[in-house]
Chain A
Amino acid sequence: MIDFVVLALLTIITASTPLVFAAIGEIVVEKAGVLNLGVEGMMIVGAIGAFAVAVTTGDPTLAILAGAASGLVLAFIFGFLTLYLLSNQVATGLALTLFGIGFSALLGNGFVGQTYGGLPHLDIPILSDLPFVGQLIFGQDVLVYLSVFSALGVTWFLGRTRWGLAVRAVGENHDAAHSIGFSVTLIRMGAVLFGGAMAGLGGAYLSLAHTPLWVENMTAGRGWIALALVVFASWKPWRAFFGAYLFGGITIVQLHAQGFGVDVPSQILSMLPYLATIVVLVLISRDGSRARLNAPACLGRSFHASG
């Protein structure tokens, strides 16, 4: 029984980790006042970037870096268009997703059908052999730990550091931030690039650890779930972290329920995170004063220093 619970929890961790990366990254982007709907596109490009390097070099570290870099490059395109050329963020983000899916298919042409052994797991003697917690806490791959640290790190960064304050300031009121001397465009660019790298890591986790292979469109909508999680978490990193695990948990529990022959409509469970997001949006619109405290006031608005 204990073995079974450990195995189920391990599956939940793998299902949730890509969502954690993408959602935490997007929180920083949106906190800076930028709405990047291209998460799916950045994830898929991260997935092929990481996989291509993993297969060619066999070096997991390089592969992870390549995943982050691929997402970052796509984010740079988005940042340049929306922050410097002031294009519409929603339209640019959607275009970025479409571009990412097509571009990754092109890059991945030669990698279809290849396999990669998967990321090495941390194996600490004694600790990894502990019952229950050993495998769960001390036997994961490096990206899982990185996802936990990124949730903690971003919480600390946004809440406790000067630069985190600057990010929030440009997201809340870019004119005020500009008037006290912050470079709104540069700070936003930094946030967008960070979000891209994180989405790229989420994609890298998919193609290196979750299902170590490359097939077109393998993110299968996880970028959109991450976007929904950001609103669901009302822009709080730790809530996004638990939201991702809640969603991963529901997915896996639902599969287990089916395997045990429990009669649950799987379609209803798969729409739960979106349903939850709609509920949160309804709450925000109804009780504005309370919930809107967290939504960045300048979200989605272009900034132009006009004087």
Chain B
Amino acid sequence: MKLFGKIATLTAAALATATLAMSGVANAQSDPLKVGFVYVGPIGDHGWSYEHNQGRLALEKEFGDKVETTFVEKVPEGADAQRVINQLATSGHDLIFTTSFGYMNPTLRVAKNHPKVRFEHATGFKRDKNVATYSGRFYEGRHVAGLIAGKMTKTNTIGYVASFPIPEVIRGINAVAIAARSVNPDVKIKVVWVSSWFDPGKEADAAKTMIDQGVDIIMQHTDSPAPIQVAESRGVWAVGQASNMSAFGSKAHLTAIIDNWSPYYVARTKAVLDKTWESGDTWGGFKSGMVEMAPYNTAVPADVVALAETARKGIIDGSVHPFTGPIKDQSGKIVVPAGEVAPDGMLLGMDFYVEGVEGKIPQ
């Protein structure tokens, strides 16, 4: 027992010294600013985490040796996340981006113990003095994709490979339905839920299934490029998700909705450097550059490209809102009256399909 006690004391002393030494180092060099990133997937997922990592690289390019970035990939949501975030916070990082919804509570808990460190949590809704949140208005991109799809479909049926029935995903489906039907009132949306964010085999099967049922445009809210490949081999159109997926099917790839985190990451890092950083919530779209469209397929006719670009510019200058009334739900009931736009609160909690979407939302 005595021996253990001694070891414990020694360890504690050693730790204290080490911590002191580290904080000494941190104090001695006022720069570079250390920025940490926590990713849920591998940076090679060619989707969500890949794009966050592009944002990190943009920071290094923008600020050079004024910043030093660290990232930890494939961090499971839950207890592991808290350990990783805590480790970043205690190792002298001044700004930490946690880039998945499931990191919300771990981020807040770590933030309480490290009031001087700033945290940025993607897609969450809980904030604190040193925890800001941010997300993208991806439905703006879905609106543009929906317009193109409505014009390009010959069978008037768009297939949607969906992951989980949360408002974020339902909002995307509805945005496509409203946009596509605004240019082609006969369009119907078929939705297949695969109960996974990432299962290439099942995503491919879902795409094949819908193509067999007469769909000629595949959209997805899952993270693998498998549906694009299927569309390419079956000779139908597809819209990429999160990043430009044209490498997986250059003929099928109409466009893609790209998550571009770089402008936000640069702005927030600059705010820390300028000592103007404040907590808050950012929901950025085309205007802030957080959402972008990949280059349109050359097979898309010029008038359709013009239509898409007009909508994109309209969203930027505020003249177009993807959820402008009259919007009816599946039963025909008006949920957004003519001339009004859906408030952000409705968009954030969206739990119903609009007219034109087939089937029911799984409970």
Q: What residues of chain A have their CB less than 8 Å away from a CB belonging to chain B? A: 4, 7-8, 11, 14-15, 18, 105, 108-109, 112-113, 115, 118, 206, 210-213, 215-218, 220, 222, 251-252, 255-256, 258-261, 263, 265-267, 270
| Contact indicator A213/B191 (Cβ below 8 Å) | no
Q: Mark B32-45, 1 if CB is under 8 A from A, else 0.
A: 00000000011011
| Contact indicator B195/A266 (Cβ below 8 Å) | yes
CB distance from B341 to the nearest CB of A (A): 29
Total cross-chain contacts (CB, 8 A): 109
Give the residues from 176 to 233 in chain B that come closer than 8 angstroms, CB to CB, to chain A: 190-196, 198-206, 208-210, 212-213, 215, 224-226, 229-230, 233
In the bound complex, how far is the Cα of B194 from the Cα of A47, in angstroms? 22
Judged by a CB distance under 8 angstroms, whether B46 is at the interface is yes
CB distance from A51 to the nearest CB of B (A): 12
In the bound complex, how far is the Cα of B205 from the Cα of A8, in angstroms? 10
Some 6 contacts from A to B, beta carbons below 8 A apart, are A210-B201, A211-B201, A211-B204, A220-B199, A255-B205, A265-B362
Residue from A118, A220, A255, A270 whose CB has the most chain B CB atoms within 10 Å? A255
Given the complex, which residues of B lie within 8 Å of A270, measured CB to CB? 195
| Contact indicator B42/A252 (Cβ below 8 Å) | no
| Contact indicator A220/B195 (Cβ below 8 Å) | no
Given the complex, which residues of A lie within 8 Å of B210, measured CB to CB? 255, 259
Q: Point out the residue from A213, A259, A265 that lies within 8 Å of B248, measured CB to CB.
A: A213
Number of interface residues of B (CB under 8 A): 41
Given the complex, which residues of B lie within 8 Å of A211, measured CB to CB? 200-201, 203-204, 224, 226, 229-230
Q: Point out the residue from B191, B212, B359 that lies within 8 Å of A11, measured CB to CB.
A: B212
CB distance from A154 to the nearest CB of B (A): 24
The verdict on A213 contacting B44 (CB below 8 Å), with A261-B358, A263-B359 known, is: no
| Contact indicator A8/B224 (Cβ below 8 Å) | no
Given the complex, which residues of A lie within 8 Å of B200, measured CB to CB? 206, 211, 213, 215, 218, 220
The verdict on A118 contacting B209 (CB below 8 Å), with A213-B200, A218-B200 known, is: no
Given the complex, which residues of A lie within 8 Å of B208, measured CB to CB? 7, 11, 14
Given the complex, which residues of A lie within 8 Å of B190, measured CB to CB? 259, 261
- CB-based nearest B residue for A6: B212
In the bound complex, how far is the Cα of B213 from the Cα of A4, in angstroms? 8
| Contact indicator A115/B248 (Cβ below 8 Å) | yes
Judged by a CB distance under 8 angstroms, whether B299 is at the interface is no
Give the residues from 13 to 70 in chain B that come closer than 8 angstroms, CB to CB, to chain A: 41-42, 44-46
Given the complex, which residues of A lie within 8 Å of B193, measured CB to CB? 258, 266
In the bound complex, how far is the Cα of B207 from the Cα of A211, in angstroms? 11
Given the complex, which residues of B lie within 8 Å of A220, measured CB to CB? 196, 198-202
Top 5 nearest A-B pairs (CB, nearest first) are A112-B44, A261-B359, A255-B209, A220-B199, A7-B212
Q: Point out the residue from A105, A222, A263 that lies within 8 Å of B201, measured CB to CB.
A: A222
Judged by a CB distance under 8 angstroms, whether B247 is at the interface is yes
Given the complex, which residues of A lie within 8 Å of B225, measured CB to CB? 213, 215
CB distance from A229 to the nearest CB of B (A): 16
- CB-based nearest A residue for B41: A216
- CB-based nearest B residue for A3: B212
In the bound complex, how far is the Cα of B46 from the Cα of A260, in angstroms? 31
Known contacts A213-B229, A265-B363, then 5 further A-B pairs from the complex at CB < 8 Å, ordered by chain A residue: A15-B201, A213-B225, A216-B44, A216-B45, A261-B359
| Contact indicator A266/B213 (Cβ below 8 Å) | no
| Contact indicator B205/A267 (Cβ below 8 Å) | no
Given the complex, which residues of B lie within 8 Å of A217, measured CB to CB? 198
CB distance from B214 to the nearest CB of A (A): 9
In the bound complex, how far is the Cα of B230 from the Cα of A18, in angstroms? 18
In the bound complex, how far is the Cα of B199 from the Cα of A267, in angstroms? 15
| Contact indicator B229/A255 (Cβ below 8 Å) | no
Judged by a CB distance under 8 angstroms, whether B150 is at the interface is no
Judged by a CB distance under 8 angstroms, whether B360 is at the interface is yes
Judged by a CB distance under 8 angstroms, whether B356 is at the interface is no
Q: Point out the residue from A8, A112, A118, A216 that lies within 8 Å of B233, measured CB to CB.
A: A118
In the bound complex, how far is the Cα of B205 from the Cα of A57, in angstroms? 28
Judged by a CB distance under 8 angstroms, whether B285 is at the interface is no
CB distance from A5 to the nearest CB of B (A): 9
In the bound complex, how far is the Cα of B140 from the Cα of A115, in angstroms? 30
| Contact indicator B247/A113 (Cβ below 8 Å) | yes
In the bound complex, how far is the Cα of B230 from the Cα of A56, in angstroms? 22
Given the complex, which residues of A lie within 8 Å of B224, measured CB to CB? 211, 213, 215, 218
Judged by a CB distance under 8 angstroms, whether B159 is at the interface is yes
CB distance from A188 to the nearest CB of B (A): 31
Given the complex, which residues of B lie within 8 Å of A265, measured CB to CB? 362-363
CB distance from B164 to the nearest CB of A (A): 11
Residue from B190, B191, B206, B225 whose CB has the most chain A CB atoms within 10 Å? B206
The verdict on A263 contacting B198 (CB below 8 Å), with A11-B208, A213-B226, A215-B46 known, is: no
In the bound complex, how far is the Cα of B202 from the Cα of A222, in angstroms? 11
| Contact indicator A109/B201 (Cβ below 8 Å) | no
Given the complex, which residues of A lie within 8 Å of B248, measured CB to CB? 115, 213
The verdict on A256 contacting B44 (CB below 8 Å), with A217-B198, A267-B195 known, is: no
Give the residues from 132 to 180 in chain B that come closer than 8 angstroms, CB to CB, to chain A: 159
| Contact indicator A215/B45 (Cβ below 8 Å) | yes
In the bound complex, how far is the Cα of B208 from the Cα of A7, in angstroms? 9
In the bound complex, how far is the Cα of B42 from the Cα of A109, in angstroms? 10
CB distance from B335 to the nearest CB of A (A): 21
In the bound complex, how far is the Cα of B103 from the Cα of A213, in angstroms? 29
| Contact indicator B191/A258 (Cβ below 8 Å) | yes
